[in-house]
A = this chain, B = another copy of it.
Amino acid sequence: MNYSRKMKTKFIDIEAGKLISIIHEKDAKELGLFLLDRVELINPETKKTIITVVDITDSMVKQNEIGLFEDVKKILGLRKPKEITVTPVSTPESVKFIKKKMDGESLNEKEIKEIVKDMTNNYLSQIEASAFVSAVYIRGFDLGETISMTKALVEGGEKLNLNKKFVVDKHSIGGINGRATMILVPIVAANNLLIPKTSSKSITSAAGTADSMEVLTNINLSMKKIKKITEKVGGVIAWGGSLQLAPGDDKIIAIEHPLNLDPPGQVIASVMAKKVSVGAKYLVIDIPVGMHTKVKTKENAETMAKKFLEVSKEMGIKTEVLLTDGTKPNGPAFGAALEAKHAMEILEGKIFDNLAQKSCQLAGTLFELTGKTKKGKGYSKAVELLKTGKALKKMKEIIKAQGGTINSSKKIKLSSKKIEILSKKSGKVERLDLTLLKDIARTAGAPVDPKAGLMLKIEEDDVIEKGQVLFEIHGENQRKLEIAKMLALKNNPVKLGGVVIEKII
């Protein structure tokens, strides 16, 4: 039986980003509170209430004082320091479910929903959230749990209600470069499918689809706007980051990232939740396989693909998974503007390279899934839409509908500064180090500087001469360009082999 205490508030003028209050160690002892235990705070005037975890200090607040950060102060509706009621409360039930998972038991839908809800509401500490993510990583998710997690993530977020039959979507798992989405979306929309595509900004790559699309048009669209544009022109390419689709997913990723964890069950739930949230009924998933991509081996990709299909079935989405070659770059461009320009040149019919082909394969798969074409005819239909300029026309409509005007490759401004990297010897291009190419682009300023990046001037298997340009490094900041150049010269990402097969004397 814990009794309540009145305590005087002390404001701490920063945003903690977490629901924390700070109490003196003597008060903590009296209230029986340990670091990260929880208290309920009530503002007796506004009757507003909140539960926070406690941090314990012997200096920041005095005895009988409680320190409140901006976030907590706002929720309680406090303008100036006054007395509030502080009551210790027990650990939330979700912590018991986390323990259950740690102990190796499967969690049911209710339990997973409770954990996700508490994580989304910042109600679990980082210690508790990390224990959950660690347990999921170590114990794994079975199919039922993956489905429950998908549903839990959907439940906590916004939803797009198009109420149409032919809502389709595409997802790519951790490729390195190339904007297939910007080619696929207009092809698909040009064939009367609806594709309300949300995409991400770069975290570790040189550019995300949202970064490249932002070079052409506005990507910060509300759910209402996404719905309206999709209904009008058939396709959208928006930034998903501010949309509150499956916000619980962001919380989980924030834990996974510092530990460098990607539990497959969680990855699948994360992807599927977003697809369910936008109302997709047909889905094509691209898993690039290779040493530089997220999925390193064909076996892992196949296991993952199987699970995607199982969860899709349960969620009522007709899905096909394509394993693609992740050992080669998707086109020569790395960086937001360069990748946008390359995608536009494909749409304009100037280039038909492996990125164009891959985009047509993915689009064609959606045509076959939806029955828009017969089996085996999807790819050629996609190529036709691309070559006849219908996809380009659709892309222009999309750019305009989203509020932008940069609707051709020529209108895209590239960096005024660039550095060419020349080959120090002759030979045959045996291998490209994609991770290093991406790192050079980032060192040059990508993704913050949209014009920064790298443009390959050679391909694998090319036979090149000493002094030939291997790639250009672009960027607006001269110092960064120089550092990127140093990196490129120190660790050459273009691996050459000898071209001479036989030498006859």
Residues of A bordering B, CB below 8 Å: 1-3, 12, 14-15, 17, 26, 29-30, 32, 34-37, 55, 57, 59-60, 91, 95, 98-99, 102, 104, 125-131, 133-135, 137-139, 203-204, 254-255, 257-261, 439, 442-443, 445, 447-448, 479-480, 483, 486-487, 490
| Chain B residues closer than 8 Å to A137, beta-carbon distance | 102
Assuming the contacts A15-B60, A126-B125, asked whether A257 and B35 have C-beta atoms less than 8 A apart, the reply is: yes
Assuming the contacts A99-B260, A254-B35, A258-B37, asked whether A3 and B439 have C-beta atoms less than 8 A apart, the reply is: no
Residue of B whose beta carbon sits closest to that of A55 = B17
Most chain B beta carbons < 10 A, residue from A26, A35, A131, A139:
A131
| Chain B residues closer than 8 Å to A261, beta-carbon distance | 99, 102
Q: Tell whether, in the assembled complex, residue B17 and residue A127 are in contact, meaning their CB atoms are under 8 Å apart.
A: no
Q: How far is the CA of A98 from the CA of B258 in the complex (A)?
A: 12
Q: Tell whether, in the assembled complex, residue B34 and residue A257 are in contact, meaning their CB atoms are under 8 Å apart.
A: yes
For residue A368, give the distance in angstroms from its CB to the closest CB of chain B. 38
Q: How far is the CA of A445 from the CA of B29 in the complex (A)?
A: 10
Most chain B beta carbons < 10 A, residue from A34, A102, A254, A259:
A259
Q: What 8 pairs between A and B have smallest CB-CB spacing?
A: A130-B130, A134-B134, A36-B258, A127-B130, A30-B448, A1-B487, A131-B134, A126-B126
Taking A29-B448, A127-B259 as known contacts, 14 extra A-B pairs with beta carbons closer than 8 A to each other, sorted by chain A number, are: A1-B439, A3-B480, A15-B57, A15-B60, A32-B204, A35-B257, A36-B257, A37-B258, A99-B261, A102-B138, A126-B130, A127-B127, A131-B131, A138-B138
Q: How far is the CA of A457 from the CA of B127 in the complex (A)?
A: 43
Q: Tell whether, in the assembled complex, residue A442 and residue B32 are in contact, meaning their CB atoms are under 8 Å apart.
A: yes
| Chain B residues closer than 8 Å to A128, beta-carbon distance | 130, 258-259
For residue A59, give the distance in angstroms from its CB to the closest CB of chain B. 6
Q: Tell whether, in the assembled complex, residue A447 and residue B126 are in contact, meaning their CB atoms are under 8 Å apart.
A: no
Most chain B beta carbons < 10 A, residue from A36, A134, A257, A443:
A134
The 5 listed contacts between A and B (C-beta, < 8 Å) are A3-B480, A32-B204, A95-B260, A102-B138, A127-B258
Q: Tell whether, in the assembled complex, residue A60 and residue B14 are in contact, meaning their CB atoms are under 8 Å apart.
A: yes
Q: How far is the CA of A204 from the CA of B3 in the complex (A)?
A: 16
Residue of B whose beta carbon sits closest to that of A95 = B259
Number of copies: 2
Residue of B whose beta carbon sits closest to that of A56 = B17
Q: How far is the CA of A361 from the CA of B323 in the complex (A)?
A: 70
| Chain B residues closer than 8 Å to A104, beta-carbon distance | 138
| Chain B residues closer than 8 Å to A448, beta-carbon distance | 26, 29-30
For residue A476, give the distance in angstroms from its CB to the closest CB of chain B. 12
Q: Tell whether, in the assembled complex, residue A3 and residue B483 are in contact, meaning their CB atoms are under 8 Å apart.
A: yes
Q: How far is the CA of A43 from the CA of B91 in the complex (A)?
A: 42
Residue of B whose beta carbon sits closest to that of A96 = B260
Q: How far is the CA of A442 from the CA of B55 in the complex (A)?
A: 21
| Chain B residues closer than 8 Å to A134, beta-carbon distance | 102, 130-131, 134-135, 138
Residue of B whose beta carbon sits closest to that of A104 = B138
Q: Tell whether, in the assembled complex, residue A443 and residue B14 are in contact, meaning their CB atoms are under 8 Å apart.
A: no
| Chain B residues closer than 8 Å to A490, beta-carbon distance | 1
| Chain B residues closer than 8 Å to A447, beta-carbon distance | 29
Q: How far is the CA of A247 from the CA of B29 in the complex (A)?
A: 21
Q: How far is the CA of A479 from the CA of B254 in the complex (A)?
A: 45
| Chain B residues closer than 8 Å to A15, beta-carbon distance | 57, 59-60
For residue A447, give the distance in angstroms from its CB to the closest CB of chain B. 7
| Chain B residues closer than 8 Å to A138, beta-carbon distance | 102, 104, 134-135, 138-139
